[in-house]
């Protein structure tokens, strides 16, 4: 079973439907306490997209701190930004605001990008990005646009912590379901 932390985004339930194709899913809001007495029933956690910034998103940052190292984590958009910040990364205003526009994403193979061609087209909805300056040493950039905007991260030593800036659950993202399935398989 997967835990989906909802950051109050309209895409959360599309993400939920995709995840449900491969596993059972329990949803909590980012302002809810973690179901800490039953965490052992979860094989992984997905941090949904959402409005605003990670530090103003309920208990999201506390939840991440508690969950790191306990199970695989996939952060999407705001969830990706929150993962980067939790390891000391910084956010900056995007040079160009994207709202429902695709970009070519180039990635390093493996992990959540297993069997996905590089580049592929991914839909973006964001005005903030993870800053490449002062990028945390314990994280690795796994995907970026042709202009070097960070689109994917993973932790170098803690297994199975991934983030993607784009929306894999968007119908305009090629191979989005494959990426989500790859995470579900990793979390099993």
Which residues are known to be catalytic?
A: 77, 167, 169
C-alpha to C-alpha distances, 146 to 75, 91, 97, 113, 176, nearest whole angstrom: 22, 19, 16, 17, 19
Q: Which residues touch 37 (CB under 8 Å, ≥6 apart)?
A: none
* Residue 88: count of CB within 10 angstroms of its CB: 12
Q: Which two tokens stand for residue 62?
A: 């506390």
Q: In the 8-state DSSP scheme, what is residue 108?
A: -
Please count the helices (runs of H) and the strands (runs of E) in the chain: 4, 9
* Residue 146: count of CB within 10 angstroms of its CB: 10
């Amino acid at each position: 079973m997967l835990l989906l932390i909802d950051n109050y985004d309209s895409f959360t339930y599309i993400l939920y439907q995709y995840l449900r194709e491969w596993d059972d899913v329990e949803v909590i809001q980012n302002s809810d306490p973690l179901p800490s007495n039953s965490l052992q029933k979860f094989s992984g956690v997905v941090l949904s997209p959402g409005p605003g910034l990670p530090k103003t998103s309920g208990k999201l940052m506390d939840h991440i701190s508690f969950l790191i190292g306990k199970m695989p984590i996939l952060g999407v958009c705001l969830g990706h930004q929150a993962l980067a910040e939790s390891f000391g990364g910084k956010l900056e205003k995007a040079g160009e605001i994207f709202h429902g526009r695709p970009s070519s994403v180039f990635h390093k193979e493996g992990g959540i990008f297993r069997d996905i061609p590089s580049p592929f087209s991914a839909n973006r909805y964001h005005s903030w990005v993870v800053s490449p300056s002062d990028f945390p040493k314990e994280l690795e950039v796994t995907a970026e646009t042709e202009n070097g905007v960070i689109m994917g991260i993973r932790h170098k030593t803690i297994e199975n912590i991934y983030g993607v800036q784009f929306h894999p659950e968007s119908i305009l993202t090629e191979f989005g379901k494959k990426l989500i399935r790859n995470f579900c398989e990793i979390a099993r």
